């Protein structure tokens, strides 16, 4: 093998990261560039494919320059990226449309048609209909026919970038199986398209990519791409995986029963399970393919979980945090409030609920009195995320009753808050651990790249070897967990009882 280093690139919603690792998982150079998000109308969110591609070129070159690593020693590259949105390519790998972001809701008119088949879609794809590949494909076909005629294939943004670096054509389009749960037209358990369901919607596989393994080599860096990035011409490009799958692998989450909490802009809670099972009872979970064949992770999320904390900081909390570390000040206030926030509850779905999908739902405080101040209000936001997680964990236990859940690994900005981690540990009855690194997506991609070219022979063992915990865990407290149990149940009741009210609110028209 010519190289000793590996390059992982994460194409996230908020930005692009590139990082270079050696065969021991040590980081040698990294770069980040913020995304350019466009908001042409309320509810519309776009990215320009050229912007995404340009950010990848620049961050790769910056990571190489920072590392001091010779391009000839980089053995392979893999990409991960946003999972529920779609890029479009024509026969020559040009882009007929903007990147249709998972945050964009203009495909909402297609959801009722898919929800007629919701049970079937959930059972076969692993995910209930939402703002993902299926309604977006139908939107372009039914509402943008001129663009539809120019589209040769729909691919995730990471695949679009990889194909452009490799000089691929439309007939070469592919998508690795870790994205499959985000398409209602997939048979996720068997890593194939659901041709029966496609037929019912007047579709076939003509505009769908072939399904590959994350470690498959899908191309090599062209001379032009080498000049633009600083990479060696001919560097192998692995198929890679979705960003959440890369995070799960990069953090060493490879053991059934282990929980994983990504406390970022979205609050994502995942648990590894050892077979494909779907949440047909509560309809909360997505069952997603793990990078490791035969494993899956059951996932659900609050789309703006961490964003709610920033919203509070910038609006209601501004007066008490000026000139200081805002989150540290608010954490200290919340720490003085007893569990339950003096019977104050918060609904964290300010832009609608995602799992399960309810576009009408909004945020709210429930039980507000003159007694409550910033401390209770901030803590109630944290507790609302933990209550959501308790619903997710309930569903996981229902589909995998034989597994034992005792601990969670926590990453993301929210993992720095001991108060937040203690709340979640107490609500869930799980001990909360932190890992000794902060970046996992690019590491997961680098591991995939290494396995693709034979530097590693076992995805799981490699990922576990690269991770260690940081500091002492936050231990769940049984007495506090008992206090929270009734409140988590009451929170679930609030969600159920307000669903109709939010529907009526939406019927009044936009604010």
DSSP string, 31-61: EEEE---B-SSTT--EE-HHHHHHHHHHHHH
Do strands 296-302 and 267-273 pair parallel, antiparallel, or not at all (unpaired)? Answer: antiparallel
Q: What's the CA gap between 32 and 8, in Å, rounded?
A: 12
Angle (CA) 88-190-163 rounded to 5° is 30
Predicted local distance difference test score (pLDDT) of residue 90? 98
Average pLDDT over residues 444-471: 96
Q: Which residues, in sequence order, are CB contacts of 358 under 8 Å at separation 6+?
A: 349, 352, 499, 502
Q: What's the CA gap between 209 and 193, in Å, rounded?
A: 10
* Cβ-based burial of 16 (10 A; exposed 0-12, middle 13-18, buried ≥19): buried
Query: Which of 82-96, 102-116, 334-348 shows the lowest mean pLDDT across its residues?
Result: 102-116
End-to-end Cα spacing for the chain? 60
The domain locations on the chain are 5-246, 258-439+477-511
Predicted local distance difference test score (pLDDT) of residue 101? 94
- Taking only the tens place, the pLDDT of each residue in 260-309 is 999 988 899 999 999 999 999 989 999 999 999 999 999 999 988 888 99
Kindly tell me if the per-residue pLDDT of 211 is higher than 80: yes
Average pLDDT over residues 315-330: 77
pLDDT classification of 467: cutoffs 50, 70, 90:
very high
Q: What's the CA gap between 338 and 422, in Å, rounded?
A: 12
Average pLDDT over residues 125-146: 95
Predicted local distance difference test score (pLDDT) of residue 3? 67
Predicted local distance difference test score (pLDDT) of residue 303? 84
Predicted local distance difference test score (pLDDT) of residue 324? 59
**Residue 264 zone, left/alpha/beta (φ > 0; ψ -120 to 50; rest):** beta
* Sign for the pseudo-dihedral over CA of 307, 313, 316, 318: negative
Q: What are phi and psi of 97, to 5 degrees?
A: -135, 170
Angle (CA) 463-230-72 rounded to 5° is 65
* Interior/surface letters 465-502, b for 16+ CB within 10 angstroms, e for the rest: ebbeeeeebbebeeebbebbeebbeebbebbeebeeeb
Q: What's the CA gap between 63 and 19, in Å, rounded?
A: 6
When computed from its CA atoms, the radius of gyration of the chain, rounded to whole angstroms, is 22
Give the bridge partners for 192, in sequence order: 187
pLDDT classification of 1: cutoffs 50, 70, 90:
very low
Predicted local distance difference test score (pLDDT) of residue 103? 85
Q: What are phi and psi of 456, to 5 degrees?
A: -120, 145
Cα 273 to Cα 214, 445, 508: the distances in Å are 19, 21, 42
Highest CATH level, class, for 258-439+477-511? alpha beta
Q: What's the CA gap between 177 and 242, in Å, rounded?
A: 9
Q: Shortest CA distance to 58 belongs to which of 102, 11, 92, 6?
A: 11
3-class secondary structure, 425: helix
CATH code for residues 5-246? 3.30.420.40
Predicted local distance difference test score (pLDDT) of residue 359? 82
Q: What is the pTM of this model?
A: 0.90
Predicted local distance difference test score (pLDDT) of residue 304? 84
Average pLDDT over residues 187-197: 97
* Residue linked to tokens 């040769």: 152
Q: Shortest CA distance to 157 belongs to which of 64, 81, 224?
A: 81
Kindly tell me if the per-residue pLDDT of 2 is higher than 90: no
- Is 258-439+477-511 the same fold as 5-246? yes
CA 110 from chain centre, in angstroms, equals 23
Q: What's the CA gap between 106 and 367, in Å, rounded?
A: 34
Mean pLDDT, the chain, integer: 94
**Which tokens in the block code for residue 349?**
């779905």
pLDDT classification of 351: cutoffs 50, 70, 90:
confident
Kindly tell me if the per-residue pLDDT of 364 is higher than 60: yes
- Taking only the tens place, the pLDDT of each residue in 17-41 is 999 999 999 999 999 999 999 999 9
- Taking only the tens place, the pLDDT of each residue in 149-164 is 999 999 999 999 999 9
Q: Shortest CA distance to 119 belongs to which of 110, 128, 111?
A: 128
């Amino acid at each position: 093998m010519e190289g000793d280093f590996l390059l992982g690139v994460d194409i996230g919603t908020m930005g692009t990261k590139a990082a270079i690792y050696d065969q021991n998982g040590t980081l040698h150079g990294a770069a980040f560039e913020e995304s350019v998000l466009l908001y042409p109308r309320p509810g519309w969110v776009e990215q320009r494919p050229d912007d995404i591609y340009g950010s990848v070129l620049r961050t790769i070159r910056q990571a190489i320059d920072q590392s001091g690593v010779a391009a000839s020693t980089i053995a392979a590259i893999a990409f991960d990226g946003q999972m529920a949105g779609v890029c479009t390519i024509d026969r020559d790998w040009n882009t007929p449309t903007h990147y249709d972001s998972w945050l964009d809701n203009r495909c909402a008119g297609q959801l009722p048609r898919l929800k007629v088949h919701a049970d079937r879609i959930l059972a076969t794809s692993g995910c209930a209909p939402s703002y993902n590949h299926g309604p977006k494909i139908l939107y372009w076909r039914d509402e943008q026919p001129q663009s539809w005629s120019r589209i040769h294939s729909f691919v995730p943004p990471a695949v679009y970038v990889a194909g452009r670096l490799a000089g691929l054509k439309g007939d070469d389009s592919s998508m690795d199986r870790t994205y499959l749960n985000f398409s209602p037209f997939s048979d996720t358990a068997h890593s194939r398209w659901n041709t029966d369901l496609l037929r019912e919607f007047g579709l076939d596989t003509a505009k769908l990519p072939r399904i590959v393994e994350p470690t498959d080599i899908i191309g090599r860096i062209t001379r032009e791409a080498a000049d633009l990035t600083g990479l060696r011409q001919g560097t192998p490009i692995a198929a890679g995986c979705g960003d959440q799958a890369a995070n799960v692998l990069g953090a060493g989450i490879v053991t059934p029963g282990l929980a994983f909490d990504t406390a970022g802009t979205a609050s994502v809670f995942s648990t590894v399970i050892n077979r494909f099972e779907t949440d047909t009872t509560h309809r909360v979970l997505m069952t997603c393919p793990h990078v490791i064949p035969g494993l899956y992770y059951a996932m659900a999320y609050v789309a703006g979980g961490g964003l709610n904390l920033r919203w509070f900081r910038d609006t209601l909390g501004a007066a008490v945090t000026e000139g200081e570390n805002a989150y540290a000040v608010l954490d200290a206030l919340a720490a003085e409030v007893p569990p339950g926030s003096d019977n104050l509850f918060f609904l964290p779905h300010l832009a609608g609920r995602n799992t399960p999908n309810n576009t009408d739902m909004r945020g709210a405080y429930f039980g507000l009195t003159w007694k409550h101040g910033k401390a209770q209000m901030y803590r109630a936001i944290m507790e609302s995320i933990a209550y959501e997680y308790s619903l997710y964990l309930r569903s996981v236990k229902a589909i995998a009753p034989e597994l034992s859940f005792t601990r969670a690994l926590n990453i993301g900005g929210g993992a720095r808050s001991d108060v937040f981690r203690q709340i979640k540990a107490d609500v869930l009855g799980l001990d909360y651990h932190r890992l000794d690194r902060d970046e996992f997506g690019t590491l997961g991609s680098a591991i995939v790249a290494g396995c693709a070219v034979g530097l590693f022979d076992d995805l799981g063992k490699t990922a576990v070897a690269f991770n260690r915990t940081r500091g002492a865990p936050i231990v769940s407290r049984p007495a506090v967990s008992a206090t929270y149990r009734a409140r988590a149940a009451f929170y679930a009741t609030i969600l159920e009882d307000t669903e109709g009210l939010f529907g009526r609110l939406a019927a009044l028209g936009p604010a």
